[in-house]
Chain A
Amino acid sequence: MADTSDTGKRMRIEVLRYRPEQDAEPFLQGYDVPYSDDMSVLQGLQYIKDWLDGTLSFRWSCRMAICGSCGMMIDGEPRLACKTFLRDFPAGSVRVEALAHFPIERDLVIRMDDFLAKLESIKPYIIPKEARSLAQGEYLQTPAELDVYEQFSSCINCLLCYAACPQYGLNPDFVGPGIMALLHRYNADSRDGGASARMEVAGSEAGVFNCTAVGYCSEVCPKHVDPANAVNQNKTRAAGDYFLRLVTGKGGAK
């Protein structure tokens, strides 16, 4: 619960509301919220829900940029509400909307069914290159082998990169930046042998070639993952798979 002791400062928080049972389309609703310098946008929304309007819906959990639940458009940019502070809007007003490019379920809550289905499709787990028995010991990995994929394993599925990707907005069939970062996290792991199985997705018409290297996905990532790099490295891999199959008769995609 945010500290309600009055500092005298007020923030005008404009929230894009949408209540499917009564609204034909979303509309902006403004709230005046007292705030102190240590309050995040998430705490501002919690103040609204607790004291001004209990009907406001939004997702949140950890309050510390770990769970990836509170992604929203803040003054038009995809941000985590818990990692964005009200003090950084000196004009005294801030506009908060549901993450761009996703259908709005209600208020600031988006529908992420599409993302979850795509996540399953890329087999987001290690498919061992070689089976080892317990007696043979663990799968060893050098620091250099770890370095190749480590940043991609920091993804928290917050979807900010999807809200930053116009190609996903224009064509929701595109697997998108976050899923490609996770796909690459496993493909690039020295213990993994599932790259050709995942190529069926990466090299498909819904795959990497929908990307036009806008690069904004990597700018907005709160965990310093570089999804644009994952997508574009896999363009090269998918092109290699495309042409090599003509020579070798192999290749993952259908």
Chain B
Amino acid sequence: MNTPDPRRPYVRPMAGWWRRNPFFVEYMVHEATALFVAAYALVLLVGLLRLAQGEAAWNGWLDALRSPVALVFHVVLLAAFVYHCWTWFRIMPKTMPPLVIRGKRVAPGVITACGVAATVVCSLVVLVVAWGATR
């Protein structure tokens, strides 16, 4: 025998959920850095294609990089990558097992700071190597 269920649970819609809380707005912004990472990968891929097409094509690509639009675009890209870097290391303490050094658990802030410091070191090393190889 079927008796109708008097329970009529109401499921609320999710549309626009990320606008309901500043925490979620920030999440959507840092997720959106992926658009810029993809854009940069495509810029580099086009560069590789131009490199394979010969010297004239490659120089055309270099000229395009010097245009004001390209420069402004790369400043925006740089901002997005820096924000990606910061948010990536900010969440990192939550993604790893507890790190214990000399019997004490390393604080989340220290892990984030180490990550950012690693980026600074990597950046300097790359710059110095590139400068040494091309000057």
Residues of A within 8 A of B (CB): 18, 20-21, 25-26, 76-77, 100, 103-105, 111, 144, 147-148, 166, 169-170, 212-216, 218-219, 226, 228-229, 232-233, 235-236
Whether A103 contacts B96 by the Cβ 8 Å rule is: no
Whether the Cβ atoms of A215 and B91 lie closer than 8 Å is yes
Least Cβ–Cβ distance between A126 and chain B, in angstroms: 20
Q: Does B11 contact A (CB under 8 A)?
A: yes
Task: Out of A103, A215, A219, name the residue touching B9 (CB < 8 Å).
Answer: A103
Least CB distance, A55 to chain B, in whole angstroms? 16
Are A228 and B9 closer than 8 Å at their CB atoms?
no
> Does B94 contact A228, Cβ atoms closer than 8 Å?
yes
Q: Which 5 A-B pairs have the closest CB atoms?
A: A103-B9, A20-B8, A232-B95, A104-B10, A228-B94
Q: Which of A26, A212, A228 contacts B10 (CB 8 A)?
A: A26
Given contacts A104-B10, A215-B91, 18 further A-B contacts (CB under 8 A): A21-B8, A25-B10, A76-B21, A103-B11, A144-B100, A144-B103, A166-B14, A166-B24, A212-B31, A213-B91, A213-B95, A214-B27, A216-B23, A228-B94, A229-B93, A229-B95, A232-B94, A236-B97
- Whether B10 lies near A219 (C-beta < 8 A) is no
Given known A-B contacts A148-B98, A213-B95, A20 and B17 have beta carbons under 8 A apart: no
The verdict on B68 contacting chain A, using a C-beta distance below 8 Å, is no
Which of chain B's residues have a CB closer than 8 A to the CB of A26?
10, 12
The reply to whether B10 and A170 form a contact with Cβ atoms under 8 Å apart is no
Residues of B within 8 A of A100 (CB): 12
Whether B24 pairs with A216 at a CB distance below 8 angstroms is yes
Q: Across the interface, which residues of B come within 8 angstroms of A229, CB to CB?
A: 93-95
Give bound CA distance, A229 to B111, whole Å. 14
Closest residue of chain A to B105 (Cβ to Cβ) is A147
Q: Closest CB of chain A to B32's CB: distance in Å?
A: 13
Task: Please state if A18 and B94 are interface contacts (CB–CB under 8 Å).
Answer: no
Instruction: State the Cβ distance, A154 to closest chain B Cβ, in Å.
Output: 15
Nearest neighbor of B21 in chain A, beta-carbon distance: A76
Interface residues of chain B, those whose CB is within 8 Å of chain A, are: 6-12, 14, 17-18, 20-21, 23-24, 27, 31, 91, 93-98, 100, 103, 105
Contact of A213 among B7, B8, B94, B105 (CB under 8 A): B94
Cα–Cα, bound, A170→B13 (Å): 9
User: Contact partner of B20 among A76, A147, A232, CB < 8 A?
Assistant: A76
Assuming the A-B contacts A20-B6, A105-B7, are A166 and B23 also in contact, with contact meaning beta carbons closer than 8 angstroms in the complex? Answer: no
Closest chain A CB from B100 CB (angstroms): 8
Name the residue on A nearest B5 (C-beta): A20
**Inter-chain contact A18/B21, CB cutoff 8 Å:** no
Nearest-neighbour CB distance to chain B for A165, whole angstroms, equals: 11
Q: Which residue of B lies closest to A103 (CB)?
A: B9
Q: How far is the CA of A18 from the CA of B8 in the complex (A)?
A: 10
Asked if A77 meets B94 with Cβ closer than 8 Å, knowing A18-B10, A111-B9, the reply is no
Residue of B nearest to A216 (CB): B23
Name the B residues within 8 Å of A104 (CB-CB).
9-12
A233 and B97 contact, Cβ closer than 8 Å, known pairs A76-B20, A104-B12, A105-B7: yes
* B100 / chain A contacts, CB cutoff of 8 Å: 144
CA of A226 to CA of B8 in the docked complex: distance in angstroms?
Answer: 34
